Amino acid sequence: MVEISSGSNHLFLPVPHSKTHFLDSFLPRLKHSLSLTLQHFYPLAGNLTWPPESEKPVILYVNGDSVSLTIAESNNDFYHLSGNHTRSITESHPLVVPHLPVSDTVAPVLALQVTAFPNCGFSIGFTMHKAVVDGKSSMMFMKSWASICKSGDSSLSPELVPFYDRTVIKDPLGMEKVYLNNLLKPNNRSLMVMDPIAPSNTVKTTFGLSRADIERLRKRVLTRTTPSLHVSTSVLTCAYVWVCLVRADVKKKRIRLVFTVDCRARLDPPIPVTYFGNCFVGHMVRAETSEIKGEDGLAVAVEAFSKVIRGLDNGVLVGMKKDISVLSEETDQATIGIAWSPQIGVYGVDFGWGRPAKAEMIISIDRTGAISVVESRDGAGGVEVGLALKKQEMDVFASLFSNGLKALGIGFRFSNEICI
């Protein structure tokens, strides 16, 4: 299942240090543990290639291959960059390798950057080719690196040992061919990454939903509709964001969402949860804009998600051919992807200096307009939502997001514009 794009993310580690201490202690420890980790994740040191005789791209690793690691220093404000407030998307871009050095025939799988902020901390940025890894696999690598760095032991716990056997995946619906045919349009075997350019004046913000907020959203939905809906934390979060986006009219058109589903446990037969690769598929969620804007908009959005999730019981790949066809067509609808998931556990990455101060997805949400959803850093059952919009759109969205939660908390709605 091939997607020719890349994703960049970074972790902020609040570890005050001098420049000398970083170079003499932190950096050698990071580099040594990275070397040990890549012995387990050797495909990440290889390259994605598309030989003329092959029907599909392959990962080629040979002895001597390596991973690019950039070491940088920044004088920018560590706490500003790792905060949740609104800021320009370009401020974070120097902290990652924004583009893998890809050609038509060869594409590195991974590039890393460690940026020191003297006396404050450092960030670890990682850019990975999505044809090779999904969010779960990339986070498994980061957790393995962190584990080895923290313990000094090159062995991994069973849940972090990658499983590479591709033959365990059965493809009775021929989805691999569908993906490849879509990728080859128009008869192109290039491995060049196609990332869109973000609109000018784009800013990003991280919004928080506490566990209490989630419970109030759940109560609101269950009092407006049937109790058979799928009202998980992720669904409620995405549905609420969807309602706010539609009411803010940020796309000036109908909005449909695409959320990713981990296929590992849903394939027939299921495959190991430690399978290393891209084993996510996207499923499309649709609803009428007028209904999303209505008084029961949140319940309508949750019902739309629930309908798609119930359909997964018939097979995680059922309907994918149609969705891929629809996504490739010109349409009057805006498509917004939902990236990451609270289940991935991004704040569980501990290199030995504690939990990250902030985990952030960069390129995927900055340039594509995707929404990132992760567990809250405090581990109290809340979530963090990251998104990038034009400044004026972000102001409207933020107002709707905040006022909608306030309306829930005090038991009434201020106006039809923010009722949920």
The domain limits of the chain are 6-184, 202-410
Q: Taking the model in full, what pTM does it have?
A: 0.92
**In this structure, what DSSP letter does residue 77 have?**
-
Q: Provide the pLDDT for residue 308.
A: 95
CA distance 111 to 44: 9
CA distance 141 to 349: 10
User: How many residues comprise the chain?
Assistant: 420
CA distance 386 to 8: 14
Cis before 227 (ω within 30):
no
CA distance 2 to 190: 12
- Kindly list the distances between the CA atom of residue 31 and the CA atoms of 3, 35, 94, 112, 265, in Å, as whole numbers in the listed order: 30, 6, 20, 11, 34
Q: Provide the pLDDT for residue 184.
A: 66
Q: Provide the pLDDT for residue 194.
A: 59
394 in Cβ contact with 207 (< 8 Å) = no
H or E segment and range at residue 403: helix 391-410
Residues 6+ apart with CB under 8 A from 132: 43, 44, 48, 59, 109, 277, 278
Q: Provide the pLDDT for residue 195.
A: 62
225 in Cβ contact with 416 (< 8 Å) = no
250 in Cβ contact with 397 (< 8 Å) = yes
What's the topology of domain 6-184?
Chloramphenicol Acetyltransferase (3.30.559)
Residue 73 corresponds to which tokens in the numbers above? 């220093």
Q: Provide the pLDDT for residue 418.
A: 40
Q: Provide the pLDDT for residue 105.
A: 80
Domains 6-184 and 202-410 agree in fold = yes
CA distance 274 to 396: 41
Q: Provide the pLDDT for residue 1.
A: 33
CA distance 97 to 363: 10
Residue type, 176: E
CA distance 388 to 397: 11
What superfamily would CATH give domain 202-410?
Chloramphenicol acetyltransferase-like domain (3.30.559.10)
CA distance 295 to 416: 7
Scanning 294-419, the segments in alpha helix (DSSP H) are 297-311, 320-327, 363-368, 391-410
| Residues of the chain falling short of pLDDT 70 | 1-6, 98-99, 183-187, 193-196, 227, 328, 330, 410-420
Q: Provide the pLDDT for residue 193.
A: 65
Cα torsion 323, 325, 330, 336: sign: positive
Q: Provide the pLDDT for residue 391.
A: 94
Q: Provide the pLDDT for residue 98.
A: 63
CA distance 51 to 105: 8
Q: Provide the pLDDT for residue 115.
A: 96
334 in Cβ contact with 251 (< 8 Å) = yes
Residue type, 88: S
Q: Provide the pLDDT for residue 56.
A: 85
Task: Tokens 């986070």: give the residue.
Answer: 139
CA distance 116 to 134: 27
